[in-house]
Structure 1
């Protein structure tokens, strides 16, 4: 529940000028923007209501946070398949502890209660989770969990298997049309209601119109320099919803995953928490296992605790990273249980069966987003949101490991059901927007993106303080109103504007929350706990 809603940074309503009477357009009963777990579940649910569904994926369906997810799905299964000591209330308790006082208890219990049924849907669509030689589902444990309740697939490629099965089901469904490499620029509203989006594909602007719209665009990790996210995670859904007048909340809570492979010049490969769940330990540069000094659960403490401990060790020792030691688990086990990590490290010359892995935290998952109810409905009529782009109240100030795909499943299905029930032909839509002045000539967009990501990492990163947050807010405001003003003509420019807006929103939220809680660490905090839910609305004009 939002307890404090204030105006956020100003923004233009649309990023470009258009007149729908002069633009090609597609029509559907239900429009889904996003091709990850939430979007695909929503599309399948809406289509099962007999509605024509159009899915727009920014890249391919292999390029999403879901597809890149390694660890698994947290779920309390039926009594025959779960651990004897586990039940829904234990999972609820673990989620609330990780969320540091900002979870909505009723929402947590409601969403987790539908988890097992959602997993059954995945299995019906052909998703194959790992099983033992005897045929039993293999469950693992991750940080913050009191029991082994994490389902996984192909060792450490759970997200890819989920997307494979759902994408195959969507592609085979006669009422679902999927368009890949379609970049949604702005949410269209007509009379205050969502009417679709305008998107860019093959150097052409197209309007996608629908009776109901579902945003499932994923996260914004690429706003930070160090990130586990794919290049598509630039916060587009957050930005377009904000420009359209939707209420956003808890934007300061970017979760920094404790363990990503840290090699200069290399991609920040996620080292799944499941590896620590199987027994890998963190060590500092002198070989000391340090996590027992920070938390009773050691390596299996909640992610925000482990991340802060790693940063503390880096600061204390002056060494640029820490080490993850899995050598005692043996080559055969590591190769079979974590094939993706084993092979990726081998390509970099690291045999994880004999050598420690250099690791450092990176931006991973955004706990805030577009405010929705427990059915995915937003503050804009006929607009739903599901997955990482949404803020339901499940995660609070820090997401419990492997609750993300779970939420995408449950909320994607719910949003698809309700948007499917309400969806239908879009009717006559006549929207236009004035053409803004052209963007500045000669602007080096890639350089400005690098500057933005570096500043967000330094000033709005793992540890924050008032002085640096003020610098970030002023810098972002200047870049938005000067270098990135006006109308761009390609995806890179629109992504830049989205990233700057999202960065500005996060910095403003982090500046307002003066106390540390969950993933939001204020180095200048006086130690008070602040469990206010901070919401944001646009400032420049009334919601359309």
Structure 2
């Protein structure tokens, strides 16, 4: 298969790029590949909303920029922050033009929420399912373009580079080029090659590396792992954001239900098992402190009291107001026997967002020619050491747009390409079907256990060393399985997650300080030498 634009991922970043490319070049083909259903993305599960300056009487670009820089704890790229905040307003309007519906007041003005780290009310939202509404609008718009093809149930295995043409490619190889991808077609179980002039990775996050995460099952870090294998640059993987308030359900593993930060923005109060409002002991901003501070405070309270969760108190919020703003959260709590009008909601931190990822410049270009990255898989410099709430959807749209602007110029004169016959078919000779799936499922459990216990909210040198040793063993076992058995999505995802786990541990080893989302008790203070960790 050959295409002009190849987009890996159908979330907000991927679809934004696809729509712009299809509209600008009606004679060119835009192929979007997703490994499950088109709407099964991290975007779909975003609850709180999208941050943007829309009320210029009370808010300003400077305030939003300052809030982002403060949350990023000294590692944000200020130029990128200014780009995203200022260009974000136009991107939000485009989203509205594509059909996204945000909640409004009775007078027609948009309802604006406030979340941790924000100095003003600036969060646009659609009840507590903002991401789902945005995904719906983008997919409907995409289906209206005849030159956009969305291919579902195809798992991208590897990027095609000179390596597959028989050349030696290393980290120091200049001008590594991307020609497309190898994919595992899950409907016919065949390995196929897709060649493209421009490839955009919008493959989402990697929360499934941890035992408890707000991310869906698809968030396995595939794009980051593929770029690392292709000798591309990865940075700042140690900065894993744990959302402070995931719903605590005893015995539940994997995806946890998210209790949006907007609940605290509306007045929700965190309390420990004794009913004490504890956040004032950790930060003057109390429950609306940035996420890294709130997550560490909850972790501390859980260890002090010997409990597996704390509570979020919304009993003082008028019930009709809560139901109107958070109908999804209300129904979920009710389904497990919690009446939010009279009972506290049990919550605990869960892996939520990767601030690091594939290193890009201000146009979304990676270190590999003709390969772009946008959304959670990318490290643009916006988030620094900690993401400001509701900046992620904004970043995804701004950088999808900037990727398109740059790619549009390249595609006009692009001679990139390779003879389809020169790219070898996938070699599966000498492999067999795995005899026991437990070899994969047990390794996944071990990986998630290691990452959660040793590389979580609080870290130490000895924990990181233990994690590294155990990941080495998991990698050896999984590579042996990869070389001798037929490919499956489960095996590919496990391989990718082990790679992502390794990158998180490696970056955490290199950072000899505590900053933002990376807190190491052996280095409890910030270093005066601030730098990005690039692998």
Aligned ranges for residues 218-229 of structure 1 at < 5 Å?
218-229=204-215
Distance 2:133 2:478 in 1: 42
CA distance in 2, matches of 1:119, 1:287: 40
1:55 is aligned to 2:53 = no
2:419 aligns with one of 417, 425, 428: 428
1:157 aligns with 2:129: yes
What are the residue-to-residue correspondences of 1:141-156 with 2, within 5 Å?
A: 141-153=114-126, 155-156=127-128
Alignment of 1:387-466 (within 5 A): 387-423=375-411, 426-429=417-420, 430-432=422-424, 438=431, 442=436, 444-466=439-461
Runs (5+) with no aligned partner, structure 2: 166-175
Q: How much has 1:435 moved relative to structure 2?
A: 5.3
Which among 22, 27, 45 is matched to residue 68 of structure 1?
45
Is the partner of 2:179 in helix, strand or coil? Answer: strand
Distance change (3 Å), C-alpha of 1:223 and 1:28? same
Q: How far apart are residue 426 of structure 1 and its match?
A: 4.0
1:345 aligns with 2:337: no
Q: 1:83 to 1:337 in 2, by over 3 A?
A: farther
The answer to whether the aligner puts 1:298 opposite 2:298 as a matched pair is: no
Alignment check: 8 A CA contact 1:83 1:149 kept: no
What are the superposed Cα offsets for residues 325-360 of structure 1, whole Å, 9 maximum, x if unpaired?
011112211111001101111111111122100000
Picking from 169, 175, 191, the partner of 2:141 is 169
Q: Secondary structure at the match of 2:352?
A: strand
Task: Provide the alpha-carbon RMSD of the alignment.
Answer: 1.6
Quote the residue 1:32 is aligned against: 7
Task: Pick closer, same or farther for the CA change 1:528–1:437 going to 2, 3 Å.
Answer: farther
Report the equivalent of 2:469.
474
Runs of 4+ in 1 over 6 A off after TM superposition: none
Instruction: Name the SS of the counterpart of 1:444 in structure 2.
Output: helix
Cα distance in 2, alignment partners of residues 327 and 384 from structure 1: 46
Q: Report the Cα distance in structure 2 between the residues aligned to 1:497 and 1:272, rounded to whole angstroms.
A: 31
Determine which structure has greater relative contact order: mean sequence separation of CA pairs < 8 Å that are 6+ residues apart, divided by chain length.
Answer: 1
- Matched-pair contact (CA < 8 Å) for 1:46–1:417: no
Work out the CA distance in 1 between the residues paired with 2:417 and 2:41: 28
Shift of 1:112: 1.2
What's the counterpart of residue 196 of structure 1? 180
| C-alpha displacement of 1:475 | 1.0
Q: What is aligned with 2:169?
A: none
CA displacement, residues 51-95 of structure 1 (integer Å, 9 cap, x when unaligned) = 310000121132111010000000012xxxx15231001100000
1:372 aligns with 2:360: yes
Give 1:260's match in structure 2, choosing from 231, 239, 246: 246
Q: Provide TM-score, normalisation by structure 1.
A: 0.90
1:526 deviates by 4.3
Partners of 1:196 and 1:210 within 8 A in 2: yes
Q: What secondary structure does 1:365 align onto?
A: strand
The answer as to whether partners of 1:28 and 1:426 remain within 8 angstroms in 2 is no
SS in 2 for 1:185: strand
**What is the match of residue 83 of structure 2?**
110
TM-superposed CA distance for 1:438, in Å, is: 4.4
Q: Does the CA contact (< 8 Å) of 1:83 and 1:148 recur in 2? A: no
Q: Please say if residues 179 and 418 of structure 2, whose CA atoms lie closer than 8 Å, have aligned partners that are also in contact.
A: no
Unpaired segments ≥5 residues, structure 1: 1-25, 537-544
Matching of residue 335 in structure 1 with residue 323 in structure 2: yes
Is the CA contact 1:211–1:422 (under 8 Å) kept in the aligned structure 2?
Answer: no
**Residue by residue, what CA displacement relative to the aligned partner does 1:237-281 show, whole Å, maximum 9, x if unpaired?**
000111111101001000000000011134511100000000000
Cα contact 2:478–2:495 (8 A) shared by 1: no
Equivalent position of 2:159 in the other structure: 187
The aligned counterpart of 1:212 is 198
Structure-2 change in CA distance of 1:526 and 1:514 (3 Å): same
Question: Contact 1:323 / 1:357 at 8 angstroms: preserved in 2?
Answer: yes
Shift in CA distance, 260/469, structure 1 to aligned 2, threshold 3 Å: same
* CA shift for structure 1 position 422: 2.1
1:420 Cα deviation from its structure 2 partner: 3.4
Contact map agreement 1:49 1:417 (CA 8 A) in 2: no
**1:515-544 alpha-carbon deviations (Å, 9 max, x no partner):** 1100001022142335210000xxxxxxxx
Higher mean alpha-carbon deviation, 202-211 vs 184-193, is at: 184-193
Q: Which deviates the most, 264-273 or 501-510?
A: 264-273
Cα deviation, 1:183-214, whole Å, max 9, x if unaligned, reads: 11111114731111111121122212110100
Distance 2:156 2:49 in 1: 29
Would the alpha carbon gap of residues 293 and 437 (structure 1) be closer, same or farther in structure 2, given more than 3 Å must change?
farther
Secondary structure of the residue aligned to 1:287 is coil
Contact 1:71 1:402 in 2 (8 A): yes
Cα offset, 1:419, TM superposition: 2.1
Number of residue pairs the alignment of both structures matches: 506
Conserved? CA contact 2:38–2:150, under 8 Å: no
After alignment, is 309-318 or 210-219 more displaced? Answer: 309-318
Matches within 5 A, 1:5-44: 26-44=1-19
Task: Specify the alignment match of 1:495 in structure 2.
Answer: 493
Q: Distance in 2 between matches of 1:452 and 1:500?
A: 7
Post-superposition shift, 1:441? 5.4
Aligned counterparts of 1:344 and 1:436: Cα–Cα separation in 2: 48
